């Protein structure tokens, strides 16, 4: 790909990656990728999981060394031996997982690695003053003296950005920055990004949220299986075209049409309270019901009680008080196995700890929890032949990409591990399905398959409680949406005509009436 010399010269580009190739063993993560980012633009990089986005950014930032290819900054070739070189050259990276030290203050975190010292001792006061000044200049409000452990993720991200700015970054790389934010926080972030670009800085933005890419970026580069398949001005692409470039086929984002159902109540939760691991109240007076053939969505920013709700309902966490009746039986005093016997199937939010035994085979994992039943048990012993037969069927039906039923689960990709959990839980003929984060870490193609399977369960008359931090997933699937904030249900929204802004405000703790006004 030659730069079109008519309108721009090499020096107009803040960052150029030319022919970058990176292999991990036999796997080629980046295959001759070209990426040119103009100074002063917001350049989005999109692609499925495993398309090579993070690898490419790690190469640019010096965390990985490319096997082939060249990096140029402002037209001159550079070698990124390690991140300190990149930082010196004016690059700054805000990682997907924040790297802040919880016991230190905001200012200490911002200046970590470049402390202001006087007489050999760290000058905390000067650091705090500089942090406050910087946060005012860039509109990133923080309290410099607060300990990071006490702050929300939205503010943690601001601190990460301040860290980058204080090191003099002119090009800022943001790796899936909105994954942990509420829609309002995301919007504030976009405003910050735009002000950076207007100030002549360059922003590289990795995302798989295409609405956001369309909203904020000037140019978009699409990666697919390690290759850069297109670089276009964002205005020339719509969402469907981007997806087609990403997965090489059409994917539907439409809310599936569905018959109205009026099934009987399967789960009735009344006045439920529970505490989290630190003994703080995590659920406060939660009441709702789930009917047969209905998907009830729980929306909320992670950490507002959803995890605890799932744990209480699956028998993993004792509640403080309240009732939960499943198929006419109070389940709150039951053990996890007994709750399952009463009709629950549970797809846990953290699949590696509670969903699978990573060191066991696919066949074992697909059997777990039902080894006492036919066809897995025969004459009091496990029937491994039957287990293998069952597994082969499920591997096929759920499109689990593996070598066979004896493959170790840990060796699979995140999306395929999730499919193992779904394959087990969706075939338990349970009357109530508790699904926590069905598509976490799963790419767009596989997401669609999982969504279809959830809709199939609904059609079969299963009552479904769907917990997700991805609002668009809930808006697509849920019949009713309950919004959780700080352990309470802020309100219920009808899935058919839910408004993203209204739900977003409720996720941030605004009451439904006010949210409706504001949105």
Partner 1 sequence: MEVLTSLINVALIVATLRTTAPILLVALGGSFTTKAGIFNIGLEGQMLAGAFFAVLGSIWTGSAWGGVLCGVAAALVFAYVFALLVVTFRANEVVVGLALNILAGGMTISLMKAIFGTRGSIVGQGIVGLPKIQIPYARELLGSWAPLVSGYTPLVYIAFLSVPLFVLFYKRTRLGLYIRVVGEKPEAAEALGISITRIRYIASLLCGLFAGLAGAHLSLGYITMFTENMSSGRGFMAVAILIFSNGDPLRVLAGCLLFGLADAFSLRLQTFGYPSYLILAVPYLVALTALFALSYAARPKLIRETADSMRRFLRAETPDSRPTEGSR
- Of residues 85 and 134, the one with the C-beta less far from partner 1: 85
Q: With respect to partner 1, which residue has the nearer C-beta, 112 or 386?
A: 112
Question: Which DSSP letter does residue 408 get?
Answer: B
Site stretch for partner 1 (CB under 8 A), options 107-115, 247-255, 305-313, 497-505: 107-115
- Could you say whether residue 112 binds partner 1 (CB under 8 A)? yes
- Residue of 31, 34, 67, 115 that binds partner 1 (CB under 8 A): 115
Among 68, 70, 82, 236, binds partner 1 (CB under 8 A): 82
Of 120, 249, 259, 262, the residue at the interface with partner 1 (CB under 8 A) is 120
> How many angstroms from the chain centroid is the CA of residue 5?
39
Number of Cβ within 10 Å of residue 236's Cβ equals 10
| 121 binds partner 1 per the rule CB under 8 A | yes
- Return the range that interacts with partner 1 (CB under 8 A); candidates 121-129, 448-456, 476-484, 511-519: 121-129
DSSP 456-468: HHHHTT-EEEEE-
Between CA 362 and CA 185 the distance in angstroms is: 40
Q: Which of 115-123, 212-220, 261-269, 319-327 is the region at the interface with partner 1 (rule: CB under 8 A)?
A: 115-123
CA neighbours closer than 13 Å in the CB half-sphere of residue 138: 25
Phi, then psi, of 80 in degrees rounded to 5: -95, 90
Q: Please provide residue 49's backbone torsions phi and psi, each rounded to the nearest 5 degrees.
A: -60, 135
* Interface stretch with partner 1, choices 80-88, 233-241, 249-257, 382-390 (CB under 8 A): 80-88
Cβ-based nearer residue to partner 1, 55 or 457: 55
87 vs 286, which CB is nearer to partner 1?
Answer: 87
CB of 475 to partner 1, least distance (A): 24
Give SS3 for 422.
helix
x/- site string to partner 1, residues 11 to 40, per CB under 8 A?
-------------x----xx----------
Q: Indicate the residue among 79 and 121 with the shorter CB distance to partner 1.
A: 121
Among 21, 31, 49, 322, binds partner 1 (CB under 8 A): 49
Supply 24's token pair. 């991990």
**CB contact at 8 A, 438 and 422:** yes
Among 17, 35, 54, 417, binds partner 1 (CB under 8 A): 54
Cα–Cα distance, 293 to 304 (Å, whole number): 26
Cα 230 to Cα 359: distance, rounded to the nearest angstrom:
39
Per rule CB under 8 A, is residue 202 in the interface with partner 1?
no
Task: Tell me if 433 sits within 8 A of 462, measured CB to CB.
Answer: yes
- On whether the CB atoms of residues 475 and 495 are closer than 8 A, the answer is yes
> Nearest approach, Cβ of 192 to partner 1 (angstroms)?
21
- Of the candidate residues 53, 224, 458, 476, the single one contacting partner 1 (CB under 8 A): 53
Torsion of CA 289, 290, 291, 292, to 10 degrees: -150
Q: What are phi and psi of 78, to 5 degrees?
A: -135, 155
- 108 sits near partner 1 (criterion: CB under 8 A): yes
**For partner 1, which residue of 83, 154, 393, 512 counts as binding (CB under 8 A)?**
83
Cα–Cα distance for residue pair 203/339, rounded to 1 Å: 49
Q: State the helix-helix crossing angle for 183-198 and 153-166, rounded to 10 degrees.
A: 10
Binding partner 1 by CB under 8 A: which of 68, 117, 406, 456?
Answer: 117
Residue of 44, 100, 204, 347 that binds partner 1 (CB under 8 A) = 100
168 binds partner 1 (CB under 8 A): no
C-alpha 519/C-alpha 508 separation (Å) is 13
Residue 51 engages partner 1 in binding (rule: CB under 8 A)? yes
Q: Give the C-alpha separation, 305 to 320, whole Å.
A: 14
Of 2-10, 120-128, 244-252, 391-399, the segment contacting partner 1 by CB under 8 A is 120-128
Q: Are 41 and 219 in contact (CB under 8 A)?
A: yes
Phi, psi for 28 (deg, rounded to 5): -95, 110
Region from 47-55, 281-289, 336-344, 399-407 binding partner 1, contact rule CB under 8 A: 47-55
Report the alpha-carbon distance of residue 260 to residue 350 in Å, rounded: 32
Say whether residue 150 binds partner 1 (CB under 8 A). no
Check binding of 102 to partner 1 (CB under 8 A). Answer: yes
User: Which residues in this chain contact partner 1 in the complex, by CB under 8 A?
Assistant: 24, 29-30, 49-56, 58, 64, 82-84, 87, 95-97, 99-104, 108-109, 112-113, 115, 117, 120-122, 124, 176, 410, 441
């Amino acid at each position: 790909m030659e730069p079109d010399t008519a309108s721009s010269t090499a020096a107009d580009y803040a960052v150029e990656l030319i022919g970058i190739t990176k292999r991990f063993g036999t796997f080629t993560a980046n295959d001759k990728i070209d990426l040119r980012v103009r100074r002063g633009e917001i350049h989005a990089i999109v692609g499925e999981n495993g398309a090579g986005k993070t690898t490419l950014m790690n190469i640019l930032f010096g965390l990985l060394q490319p096997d082939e290819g060249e990096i140029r900054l402002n037209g001159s070739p550079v070698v990124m031996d390690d991140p300190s070189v990149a930082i010196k050259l004016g690059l700054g990276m805000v990682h997907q997982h924040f790297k802040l030290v919880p016991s230190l203050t905001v200012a200490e975190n911002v200046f970590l690695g470049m402390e202001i010292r006087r007489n050999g001792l760290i000058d905390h006061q000067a650091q705090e003053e500089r942090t406050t000044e910087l946060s005012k200049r860039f509109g990133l409000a923080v309290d410099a003296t607060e300990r990071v452990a006490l702050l929300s993720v939205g503010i943690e991200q601001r601190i990460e950005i301040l860290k980058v700015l204080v090191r003099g970054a002119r090009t800022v790389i943001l790796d899936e920055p909105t994954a942990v934010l509420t829609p309002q926080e995301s919007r504030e972030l976009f405003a910050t990004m735009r002000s950076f670009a207007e100030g002549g800085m360059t922003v590289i933005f990795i995302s798989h949220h295409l609405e956001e890419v369309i909203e904020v970026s000037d140019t978009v580069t699409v990666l697919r299986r390690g290759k850069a398949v297109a670089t276009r001005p964002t205005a020339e692409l719509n969402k469907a075209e981007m997806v087609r470039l990403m997965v090489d086929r059409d994917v539907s984002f439409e809310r599936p049409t569905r018959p109205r159902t009026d099934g009987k109540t399967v789960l009735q939760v009344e006045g439920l309270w529970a505490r989290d691991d630190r003994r703080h109240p995590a659920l406060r007076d939660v009441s709702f019901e789930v009917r047969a053939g209905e998907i009830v969505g729980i929306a909320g920013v992670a950490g507002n009680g959803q995890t605890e709700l799932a744990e209480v309902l699956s028998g993993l966490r004792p509640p403080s008080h309240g009732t939960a009746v499943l198929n006419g039986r109070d389940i709150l005093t039951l053990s996890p196995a007994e709750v399952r016997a009463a009709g629950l199937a549970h797809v846990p939010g953290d699949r590696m700890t509670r969903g699978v035994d990573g060191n066991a085979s696919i066949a074992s994992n697909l059997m777990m929890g039902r080894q006492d039943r036919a066809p897995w048990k025969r004459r009091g012993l496990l029937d491994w032949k039957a287990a293998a037969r069952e597994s082969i069927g499920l591997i096929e039906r759920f499109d689990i990409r593996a070598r066979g039923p004896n493959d170790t689960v840990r060796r699979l990709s995140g999306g395929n591990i999730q499919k193992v959990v779904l394959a087990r839980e969706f075939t338990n003929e349970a009357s109530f399905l508790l699904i926590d984060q069905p598509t976490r870490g799963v790419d767009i193609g596989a997401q669609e398959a999982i969504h279809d399977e959830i809709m199939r369960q609904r059609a079969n008359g299963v009552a479904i409680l769907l917990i997700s931090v991805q609002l668009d997933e809930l808006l697509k699937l849920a019949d009713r949406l309950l919004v959780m904030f700080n352990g309470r249900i802020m309100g219920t929204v009808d899935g058919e005509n839910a408004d993203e802004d209204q739900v977003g405000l409720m996720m941030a703790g605004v009451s439904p009436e006010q949210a409706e006004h504001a949105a």
